[in-house]
Amino acid sequence: MSELTNLARPYAKAAFEFAVEHKALDAWQGMLFFAAEVAKNGYVAEQLHNGAAAEQQAAFFIQVCGEQLDAHGQNFVKVMAENHRLLALPAVFDAFVALKAEYEKEATVEVVSASALNAAQQDKLAAALSQRLARKVKLNCSVDPTVVGGMLIKAGDMVIDGSVRGKLDRLATALQS
């Protein structure tokens, strides 16, 4: 997968820069999402693997996408087809979303707790994390009883383990040392 990520990065950056320049970030995100879903389809992937000429692949892909792609999106697909990169569209979409989040100073934070957080707790946590990360925070909360108590917070590379399970694991490690 890292190979696809490396191949996708320049395309995502080009699409992102074009979208910023034309003030069309949401439109491009929508087009790339749809194109990525089409590229994931088994029948479409099979057609893209069949070794057809780039023009034929682009025409097929654009026909499948229909009106979901505007003229610029269609040109983007044509360029990717010329370079035999249409199967990298899901990775292009992921990289585009990451660039957009960075640009808009947003962060998606995974929160795992032993019990469901109410709205007030989520608001308080989001405010504290927004201040710490200097970004607008979107919480993805889930419940895992094995956490026992407290919560586990993941934001990108940062992990804050305030769970009882984590504390017990660290204590067990310290006692074994």
Q: Note whether 68 and 141 are same-domain residues.
A: no
Residues 127 and 167 in one domain: yes
8 A C-beta contact, residue 28 and residue 18: yes
- Quote the CA–CA distance of 87 and 8 in Å, as a whole number: 10
Domain final residue, candidates 46, 81, 101: 101
Domain final position from 37, 72, 101: 101
Residue holding tokens 């979107």? 138
Average pLDDT of adjacent 10-residue blocks, the chain of 177 residues: 80 94 94 94 84 85 90 93 91 93 88 93 92 90 90 89 89 90
Residues 97 and 36 in one domain: yes
SS3 81: helix
Which of 84, 101, 118 lies at the terminal end of a domain, its last residue? 101
CB-CB neighbours of 39 under 10 Å: 24
Q: Which amino acid is at 166?
A: G
Asked if residue 84 and residue 9 are part of one domain, the reply reads yes
For the entire predicted model, the pTM comes to 0.70
Residue 150's domain spans which residues? 105-176
Residues 87 and 52 in one domain: yes
C-alpha distances (whole Å) from 130 to each of 101, 136, 137 are 14, 5, 5
Which residue bears the tokens 């080009």? 14
